[in-house]
Amino acid sequence: MALDLRNEIITAVKARDIASACSLLEEHITKAGEVLLAALGSLPPQR
């Protein structure tokens, strides 16, 4: 999925469709944030 999104971003940039590229980047960043939050949530509490 991440590779597909990356390819879509590259395609939009090459086509100079900046609005689409920005929307796709926002989606990519949001998904990365969700993964990061899930990973942090699975860590044991620090002492």
According to DSSP, residue 45 is labeled P
Do 22 and 9 meet the contact criterion of CB atoms below 8 Å apart?
A: no
| Cβ(12)–Cβ(24) below 8 Å | yes
Nearest to 21 by CA among 5, 3, 9: 9
The secondary structure of residue 42, as a DSSP letter, is T
pLDDT tens-digit map of 15-32: 999 999 999 999 989 999
* Confidence category of residue 1, pLDDT binned at 50, 70, 90: low
The token pair at 15 is 């086509």
Which tokens go with 19? 């609005």
Domain range summary for the chain, segments of one domain joined by +: 2-35
**What pTM does this model have?**
0.69
The whole-number pLDDT of residue 6 equals 87
